[in-house]
Amino acid sequence: MKYSKTLNHNPFFGSRHSVLIIVLGLFFIYPFIASNYYIDIAFFFGIYTLLGLSLNIVLGEVGLFDLGHAGFYAIGAYTTAILNTKFGIPILILIPVSALAAGLFAYIVCSPIIHLRGDYLCIVTIGMGEIVRLALINNPFDLTGGPNGVFGIDFPTLGGPFVIDSSIEYYFLIWIVVGLTIVGLIRLQNSRIGRAWNCIREDEVAAGTSGINVRFYKLLAFVIGAALAGVAGNIYASKLMCVSPESFTFWESCLMFCIVLIGGMGSIPGVIIGAGFISLFPEIFRPFAMYRMLVFGTVMILMMMFRPGGAWPRKREGVAFQSLVTRMREKDA
């Protein structure tokens, strides 16, 4: 049974390019027919996609449980906020700076904990995310503005006359960034780097004895993941024009985790579906806001029971959770 062969005969996948073109077309037309409110929903869909993609590197590709990803997101947002409000550096120039700051932070905090496995790493990353948030509340060096956060962040510019100041422009900014990220990540997936990540997820010891520097590639995943979260933080900060610690709670990390799990670990289309679910779901169920969490929790449980590989598992693997569940069932039997 060869999946690749059956796919080629499938008329839907045979015309994959035309599907892609239709989807891209809809993305272009959407902001011109939708109201600002719906464009903003699509913007946050984009933010969550970027965050999901960033966590997917750590959680999906390498299988490291990271429940403190909001910490990296916060570092990116605050770097942008502080450098922009204090020194007036244009937001778009701060995108790489935020990425670098978050990446560097990840490198420093993850170096000593990178050898931890599974749930141990998970606990430490939860602590890391919380420490970042608490540090921001405590207003170190009078930089972060304490619980109120930082106000008055500019619209994104490069310093010239071109300013991104409408919902439509923000929509295109985030989705262009997401698009470029996806292209880069697909290329990484199909390189020795991506394969090394997957090998570590599958079997750390065997990865080492196959010549893969386990420590280096785990750190690399954290640094790239954090840098992308930093980029998301930059765009988020300029969109809201203010940042405060309550945007970067443990709940945000959980949402990112859910995005990857719902979509399917290591699957890029899966992340988009997961992010869509997370960002559209609260809007659809706004009338029943009281029961939102109840429905959300139920959906998560049903997902894990009936579709543990995620909504759109990566064709090659994405079965990580599937195999975990099968193994557990075999143990029960």
Give the span between the Cα atoms of 215 and 106, in whole angstroms.
Answer: 14
- Angle at CA of residue 278, ends 197 and 152, nearest 5°: 95
Q: Which of residues 67, 199, 229, 237 is near another protein by CB under 8 A? A: 199
Q: Which of residues 142, 209, 289, 329 is near another protein by CB under 8 A? A: 209
The residues, any chain, with a CB within 8 Å of residue 60's CB and separated by 6 or more, are 260, 264, 265, 266, 267, 271
**The one segment of 106-114, 206-214, 280-288, 296-304 that binds another protein by CB under 8 A:** 206-214
**The one segment of 92-100, 230-238, 250-258, 311-319 that binds another protein by CB under 8 A:** 311-319
Task: Dig out the tokens for 4 from the structure.
Answer: 């690749």
- Residue 319 makes contact with another protein by CB under 8 A: yes
Name the residue nearer to another protein (CB basis): 134 or 324: 324
Task: Dig out the tokens for 58 from the structure.
Answer: 């750590």
28 phi, psi to nearest 5 deg: -75, -40
Task: Dig out the tokens for 62 from the structure.
Answer: 């390498």
We find the least distance from the C-beta atom of residue 194 to another protein, in angstroms, to be 8
Helix H or strand E encompassing 292 = helix 292-306
Binning the chain into helix, strand and coil, the percentages to the nearest 5 are 80, 0, 20
We find the least distance from the C-beta atom of residue 210 to another protein, in angstroms, to be 5
Q: Which of residues 192, 251, 293, 300 is near another protein by CB under 8 A? A: 192
We find the least distance from the C-beta atom of residue 184 to another protein, in angstroms, to be 5
- Residue 187 makes contact with another protein by CB under 8 A: yes
The residues, any chain, with a CB within 8 Å of residue 224's CB and separated by 6 or more, are 54, 57, 103
- Residue 254 makes contact with another protein by CB under 8 A: no
- Residue 8 makes contact with another protein by CB under 8 A: no
Name the residue nearer to another protein (CB basis): 276 or 318: 318
SS3 160: coil
Q: What is the DSSP string of 210-242?
A: TT--HHHHHHHHHHHHHHHHHHHHHHHHHHHS-
**The one segment of 51-59, 95-103, 256-264, 316-324 that binds another protein by CB under 8 A:** 316-324
We find the least distance from the C-beta atom of residue 103 to another protein, in angstroms, to be 11
- Residue 165 makes contact with another protein by CB under 8 A: no
We find the least distance from the C-beta atom of residue 57 to another protein, in angstroms, to be 11
| Partners of 163 in beta bridges | 157
Name the residue nearer to another protein (CB basis): 41 or 214: 214
- Residue 307 makes contact with another protein by CB under 8 A: no
| Partners of 157 in beta bridges | 163
Give the span between the Cα atoms of 321 and 110, in whole angstroms.
Answer: 25
- Residue 224 makes contact with another protein by CB under 8 A: yes
Give the span between the Cα atoms of 122 and 67, in whole angstroms.
Answer: 6
Q: Which of residues 157, 195, 254, 282 is near another protein by CB under 8 A? A: 195
**The one segment of 22-30, 116-124, 205-213, 294-302 that binds another protein by CB under 8 A:** 205-213
Q: Which residues bind another protein (CB under 8 A)?
A: 2-4, 184, 187-188, 191-196, 198-199, 202-203, 205-214, 220, 224, 316-320, 323
